[in-house]
């Protein structure tokens, strides 16, 4: 993901420079994933233990859920537990 986004940012900035436009610094959303046996764990954003968290979809008891972390009403991270297909929807909220 990082390599793809970096390439897109480089191309965008090269074209902006050629056209006399403003370049935008590359500032990706932190991301990691891990497969642990039958669990696919994905996190986008900056997890902080003091942030609030709400379960947006599913439940931990079901073994499939999406948790959104927030600080002062602003989304800071999203954690997906066996919810890979839903992660792009929530990741977009972190780009806002």
Give the burial class of 20: count Cβ atoms within 10 A of its Cβ; 0-12 exposed, 13-18 middle, 19 or more buried: exposed
Within-domain flag for 77: yes
Q: Is residue 8 assigned to a domain?
A: no
Q: What is 76-94 written as a DSSP string?
A: EEEEEES-GGGHHHHHHHH
- The pLDDT, as a whole number, for residue 23 is 86
Q: For the chain, which ranges sit under pLDDT 70?
A: 96
β-partners of residue 34 are 41
CATH label of the domain that carries residue 78? 3.30.390.30
In a domain, 62, yes or no: yes
DSSP 8-class letter at 22: -
Residue 46: inside a domain: yes
Task: State the pLDDT at residue 96.
Answer: 60
pTM for the whole structure: 0.78
Name the domain count of the chain: 1
In which domain, by residue range, is 35 found?
A: 29-95
């Amino acid at each position: 993901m990082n390599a793809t986004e970096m390439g897109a940012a480089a191309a965008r900035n090269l074209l902006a420079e050629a056209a006399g436009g403003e370049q935008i610094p590359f500032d990706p959303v932190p991301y990691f994933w891990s497969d642990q046996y039958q669990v696919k764990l994905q996190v986008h954003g900056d997890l902080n233990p003091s942030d609030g968290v709400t379960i947006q979809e599913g439940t931990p008891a079901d073994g499939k859920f999406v948790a959104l972390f927030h600080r002062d009403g602003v989304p800071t991270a999203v954690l997906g537990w066996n919810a890979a297909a839903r992660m792009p929807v929530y990741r977009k909220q972190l780009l806002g």
